[in-house]
Amino acid sequence: MAGPANTRSTTSRRFPYGAVPAVLGAVVLMVSLAFGLPGTRSASAASPCAVAYSLNQWTGGFTAQVTVTNNAAPVTSWTLTWTFAGDQKVTSAWNAQVTQAGQAVTARDSGYNGTLATGGSTTFGLQATFSGQNAVPGDFALNGARCDGDGTPTPTPTPTPTPCAQAAFCDGFEDQTGTTLSGAWQPSYPDCQGTGTVAVDHTQAHSGSTSIRVDGGATYCDHAFAVNTTGVAAAGSVLYVRYYVRHAQALPAGHVAFTTLTDAADGGKHLRLGGQNQALQWNRESDDATLPEQSPAGVAMSVPLPVNQWSCLEFAINGTNGTMSTWLNGTEVSGLHLDGTPTPDVDRQWLSRANWRPRPTDLRLGWESYGGARDTLWFDDVAVNGSRIGC
């Protein structure tokens, strides 16, 4: 008689506030695919469910953020199943009870997140090991119903890009000569100057032959930026910024920033876009509020910044109603969405300041490190406008 299946069980848990599991390694691969998104299938019947699977990978291991949406009748409990194609082995999970038998994985709700209305979603996470290939699963099923009948991922639609020439301000740095910034961009070393440097680079570019290179150091005085004071003013009170960035090191656990804007409505303090706990975040200098909150659930709703490749970053800051949105490679990052209604783990901390109405006056691209991290970054094809520009 055959013995029982080799079944792995992972205890569901909620991490205490701020206790984000460490993700180690030099290489991070971010994959975000959606299965069975409503309104995107060509079949006559709508998919009963949708799954977004975001992969954060390093050598020998990965974490996955899994968001499941119920498009069928309401449920009071749920079970999500899928099959790994390789030797992936789940080692821990949060916000779900995850078990594994061979390559088959089963995730069950944790009670408090079992109810899903029609159109309702919930998110859980897992950590696992692997060797060889780490393909994204393609056979998700919710309570036994396949989320995509053919298992084919449906790509998230991206906006049709507006030509940069139509933006209020557009710069690919092709008019920069030599290695020292000039014209609309000037080097800036906030408060004190250390070993951090900012220069024109003619060997690396997203388009054309020129970009801005920043070698960011690890201490306060090593902060280095390229600052522009004309582009933001041209956009007005509703600001959309788009640029391409490439960097050499994965976002660290400690707080860093690579984009800042001086806020005239906040005593000249900075709005800072960067990272913490290895994922993108916004930070408000005046009170150190973050978007998303740095809880495990909040961090899970953000994404890392891909390494050693050009990525398109976009963000919108509405000074009229105090809202913000951020997109990475055309897809909005849910944890970086500020809509005026406090959402736990996302913008509740940020909105603790009532009637926040920013008034940015400049744009700075560079590097600030508050926890000993270094990085080398390149910036190119910067556009600023009063409406979304696209990648």
Q: What CATH number is attached to the domain comprising 76? A: 2.60.40.290
Same domain, 91 and 237: no
Of 235, 286, 295, the residue nearest 260 (C-alpha): 286
Per-residue pLDDT of the chain (391 residues; tens, 9 = 90+): 444 444 455 544 444 334 444 433 333 333 334 444 333 322 234 789 999 998 888 778 888 999 999 999 999 899 999 999 889 999 888 799 898 978 899 999 998 899 999 999 999 999 888 988 898 998 999 999 998 743 333 343 444 444 576 789 999 999 999 999 999 999 999 888 999 999 999 999 999 999 999 999 999 899 999 999 998 987 888 999 999 999 999 999 999 999 999 999 999 999 999 999 999 999 999 999 999 999 999 999 999 999 999 999 999 999 999 999 999 999 999 999 999 899 999 999 999 999 999 999 999 999 999 888 999 999 999 999 999 999 9
Asked, for residue 106, whether it belongs to a domain, the answer is yes
d(CA 188, CA 364): 8
Range of the domain at 100: 7-146
| pTM for the model | 0.61
Contacts of 97 (CB under 8 A, 6+ apart): 9, 10, 11, 12, 107, 108, 109, 110
Same domain, 213 and 108: no
201: its two tokens? 């680079």
Same domain, 141 and 168: no
DSSP-assigned letters across all residues of 275-322: EETTEEEEEETTTTEEES-SSHHHHHTS-PPPSSS-EEEEEEEETTTT
Judge contact between 109 and 78, C-beta under 8 A. Answer: yes
Same domain, 173 and 283: yes
If 0-12 CB within 10 Å is exposed, 13-18 middle and 19+ buried, where does residue 136 land? middle
Same domain, 48 and 179: no
3-state secondary structure of 268: coil
Asked, for residue 243, whether it belongs to a domain, the answer is yes
3-state secondary structure of 234: helix
Find residue 259's DSSP bridge partners: 273, 365
The type of residue at 203 is T
Could you count the other beta carbons within 10 Å of the beta carbon of residue 60?
A: 11
Same domain, 210 and 325: yes
Question: Total structural domains in the chain?
Answer: 2
Asked, for residue 358, whether it belongs to a domain, the answer is yes
Judge contact between 131 and 144, C-beta under 8 A. Answer: no
Asked, for residue 2, whether it belongs to a domain, the answer is no
d(CA 237, CA 239): 6
3-state secondary structure of 259: strand
Same domain, 375 and 307: yes
Same domain, 141 and 176: no
Same domain, 170 and 135: no
Same domain, 253 and 141: no
> Residue 231: in which H helix or E strand, if any?
helix 231-235
d(CA 33, CA 211): 30
Same domain, 102 and 250: no
